[in-house]
Structure 1
Amino acid sequence: MSELSCRICHRTPAANVRFHGHQGLVVLMRFSRIDGPFCRDCGLAAYRDMSATTLVRGWWGMLSVFAAAGVLVVNAVQRGKVARLPEPERARNERTLDPGKPLLDRSAAYGLLVPALLLVFVGWSVVNGG
């Protein structure tokens, strides 16, 4: 059995993972995904991109709050599989995707305020009977 290679940069080792994205559209929802295998760097880049998009666009629907939360949890589990991989083998002058800033260091992390404020609002409404 041969070792998996990254679908983007063709380096090894790689893990066969799938990252999901979600966009809430008030009444409708849109799901997206990107399938591996990915090396560590390309996998982290894919995870951060898909999850950052979900943080910004995922909460804007009644059921989307739950769908976006589920997508973020699934992505976090899949991220662990690529994060544990060793650094990919690199040939001279060849590069993998740049993983960029960690997810919570990006401006998209402010998207977490939407469900947090929703919980505060619901809690306040329950306490005040209304």
Structure 2
Amino acid sequence: MSETSCRVCHRAPAAKVSFHGHEGLLVLMRFRRIDGPFCKQCGLAAYRDISAHTLLRGWWGMLSMIITPGVLVLNTVRRARVALLPDSERPANDRTLDPGKPLLDRSAAYGLLVPALLIIYIAFSSAHS
């Protein structure tokens, strides 16, 4: 029986998972997808990179205010599939992706201010009208 290996570094075990990204533009929107399988380390790196991009650029459209939270929740659920993997059997090689800082420790987390400030603005405007 053959075990699935990571598409980036070729280590095993790996989980077949896809992470999605969303970029809201004023009128249009763009979607991205990174397909696995990923080992634990490469999967966390892929999740953090595409989710950080979505946090910063996902909010800038009318429908994007609804789509972006859905994409972020979907990625977080899928992240669990790679986070629960045991450590790889082989030592890391130079192709293994570095997960870097956790998502909320990155500057991209400031992207969460966009919907928060919008909600505060709407609440303040409706209370004073």
Report the TM-score when normalising by structure 1: 0.93
Deviation at residue 30 of structure 1 after TM alignment: 0.3
SS of equivalent residue, structure 2 residue 9: coil
Q: Tell me, in whole angstroms, the C-alpha distance in 2 between the residues paired with 1:42 and 1:83.
A: 10
Q: Tell me, in whole angstroms, the C-alpha distance in 1 between the residues paired with 2:125 and 2:16.
A: 44
Q: Tell me, in whole angstroms, the C-alpha distance in 1 between the residues paired with 2:31 and 2:66.
A: 13
The one-letter code sitting in structure 2 at the alignment partner of 1:123 is A
In structure 2, stretches of 5+ residues that fail to align are none
Report the TM-score when normalising by structure 2: 0.94
**Cross-structure match for 1:17:** 17
**Cross-structure match for 2:126:** 126
**Cross-structure match for 2:64:** 64
1:111 aligns with 2:111: yes
5 Å matches for 1:23-62? Answer: 23-62=23-62
SS of equivalent residue, structure 2 residue 34: strand
In structure 1, stretches of 5+ residues that fail to align are none
SS of equivalent residue, structure 1 residue 70: helix
Deviation at residue 2 of structure 1 after TM alignment: 2.1
**Cross-structure match for 2:93:** 94
**Cross-structure match for 1:8:** 8
Which digits, 9 at most, give the CA deviation of each residue in 1:9-58, with x for residues without a partner? 11100111110000011010100000011000000000000000001110
How many residues are aligned here? Answer: 128
Q: Tell me, in whole angstroms, the C-alpha distance in 1 between the residues paired with 2:38 and 2:57.
A: 24
Q: Tell me, in whole angstroms, the C-alpha distance in 2 between the residues paired with 1:87 and 1:126.
A: 52
Q: Tell me, in whole angstroms, the C-alpha distance in 2 between the residues paired with 1:29 and 1:107.
A: 22
Q: Tell me, in whole angstroms, the C-alpha distance in 2 between the residues paired with 1:68 and 1:62.
A: 11
SS of equivalent residue, structure 1 residue 53: helix
Q: Tell me, in whole angstroms, the C-alpha distance in 2 between the residues paired with 1:84 and 1:62.
A: 35
Deviation at residue 87 of structure 1 after TM alignment: 1.1
**Cross-structure match for 2:85:** 85
The one-letter code sitting in structure 1 at the alignment partner of 2:11 is R
